[in-house]
Chains A and B, each alone.
Chain A
Amino acid sequence: MVARLLLRSAVRAAVTRRASPAVALSRGMAAGGIPTDEEQATGLEKKIMNAMKTGTDPFNMLKPKEYAGSKSDPHLVPSITNKRIVGCVCEEDNTAVVWFWLHEGEAQRCPSCGSHYKLVPHELPH
C-alpha cells in the first residue's frame, strides 16, 4: 500500500511543471549561495584572473610560446621595461647558457647560434 502511494506521489512530482524564473541565474550568490571567483576574487588573484581572460599572460604564469627564431618568426620576449635579459640555450641539453641584454627596437640575434629575439614591451595590469 505504501509502495503504491509512494509511486503515485513520485509520478506526480515528476510530471508537475513549475514556473521557471525569467532570467536563469545559474551560478554564484544568486543561485546556490556560494560566491564565484568572478564575484568575489580580489587583489592580485583578481588581476590575474581578468588578464588571463583577455588571453595575455602579463605575469608569465604559462610556459613561453615557441617560435622558430628566424628573421620572420623571431622569439617574442615580453618586458615591462625597455630591456630584458635573455638566456639562450642554443641547442637542447647545452649546459652553457648564452646571456645577453635584449633592447627595445629591432630584433637582436644570439651571439652564439644567431636566433632572432624581439622585445615586446607591455604594461602590467593596474
Chain B
Amino acid sequence: MAHQAHAYHMVDPSPWPLTGAIAALLMTSGLAIWFHFHSTVLMTLGLILLLLTMYQWWRDIIREGTFQGHHTPPVQKGLRYGMILFITSEVFFFLGFFWAFYHSSLAPTPELGGCWPPTGITPLDPFEVPLLNTAVLLASGVTVTWAHHSIMEGERKQAIQSLTLTILLGLYFTALQATEYYEAPFTIADGVYGSTFFVATGFHGLHVIIGSTFLAVCLLRQVQYHFTSEHHFGFEAAAWYWHFVDVVWLFLYVSIYWWGS
C-alpha cells in the first residue's frame, strides 16, 4: 500500500545536520584556540567530525535515491535547483576576491611604487606552467563531457575511462600548481600582490581538490552500477561543479596571471 499521495521526499530524522553544526562550532573555536593557545586538538576534532558528517550524510542520500527510489522527478528537480544555487553562491564568493584584486591592481598605491605588478615582484610567466594548467583544465572539461555522453548512451567502459581521465587531469593540475607554489619567487606575505594572488588561486586550488573528490566518488558509483542512462544527477552535479572550477580558472588566468603581469 502506498504511504504517500505526493511525489516528494519527506526525509527520515537524521543526526547529520546536528553533527555538522557541532563540527562547524569545533572548527571555528578550534581555529581561535590554535591562534591564541597553540593547540590544534579542538580544530582537528572538528575536522574529523566534519569528514564523518559528510561521509555519512552523502552516503544516506545515495541510499535514499539510488537504493530506495525516493528521487522522483520533482525531487530531482529540487536537487538541481539546490546545486545551481550553491554554485551561484560560490561564484559570488570568488567575485569578492576578484574585486579585491582589481581594487588593488587598477589603482596601485605609492607604497607599491604606483605600478602593477608592484616594485620588487617578479610575477610568474603566464605562458609557462599557468598556460599548461589552462590546457589541462580545458581538456578535463572535454573529458567530463565525454563521460556524460557515454553514460547517457549506455557505454560503461567509455564512461569509466573518460571519468578516470578527467580525475587524472584534475590531479595533474593540482600537482603542477603545487610545484608552482613551491617555486614561486614571492609569498603570501609579499604585500597585496601576494595576498590577492595566493588567496584567489589558493581557494581555486581547494575547489579543484573538492571537484576532483566529487568526480572520484562518481567514478566509484559508476563502477558499482549506481547510474542509469537517464538518471545520474550525482554525476551531472559533479560535472557542473567541475565546469564552474574551470571557468573560475579561466578568469584567474586572464586577470591575475596574464593582465596582472
Contact = CB atoms under 8 A, between A and B. Distances in A.
Interface of A: 27-28, 31-37, 39-48, 58-61, 80, 124-126
A80 B5 contact: yes
B113 interface: no
A41 B157 contact: no
Interface range on chain B: under 10, 10 to 19, 20 to 34, or 35 or more? 20 to 34
A33 B6 contact: no
17 contacts: A27-B154, A32-B155, A33-B156, A35-B228, A36-B228, A36-B230, A37-B231, A42-B69, A43-B68, A43-B69, A45-B71, A45-B72, A47-B2, A59-B5, A59-B72, A61-B72, A124-B5
Interface in B153-188: 153-157, 159
A27 to B, nearest CB: 6
B69 A46 contact: yes
Given A34-B151, A34-B154, A124-B5, A40 B228 contact: yes
A30 to B, nearest CB: 10
A34 B229 contact: yes
Contacts of A40: 225, 228
B244 interface: no
Interface residues of chain A: helix, strand, loop or mixed (majority): loop
A21 to B, nearest CB: 16
A44 B7 contact: yes
Nearest to B154: A32
B73 A33 contact: no
Q: Which 10 A-B pairs have the closest CB atoms?
A: A43-B69, A33-B156, A32-B154, A45-B69, A42-B69, A124-B2, A59-B7, A32-B155, A34-B154, A126-B2
Interface of B: 1-2, 4-7, 67-74, 151, 153-157, 159, 225, 227-231
A39 B228 contact: yes
Given A27-B229, A43-B70, A36 B7 contact: no
Contacts of B227: 34
Given A37-B228, A59-B6, 8 more contacts: A33-B155, A34-B227, A39-B228, A41-B69, A44-B72, A45-B69, A46-B69, A124-B1
Nearest to A60: B6
Given A27-B154, A34-B151, A61-B74, A41 B2 contact: no
A35 B68 contact: no
B232 to A, nearest CB: 9
A47 to B, nearest CB: 7
A61 B74 CA distance: 7
A42 B5 CA distance: 17
Nearest to B71: A45
Contact of B153 (A32, A58, A61, A126): A32
Contacts of A124: 1-2, 5
A45 B1 CA distance: 15
A59 B6 CA distance: 5
B231 A41 contact: yes
Contact of A34 (B5, B6, B155): B155
A37 to B, nearest CB: 5
Most chain B CB inside 10 Å of its own CB: which residue of A37, A39, A40: A40
Contacts of A42: 67-69
A28 B154 contact: yes
A31 B70 CA distance: 27
A126 B205 CA distance: 49
A123 to B, nearest CB: 9
Contact of B7 (A37, A61, A126): A61
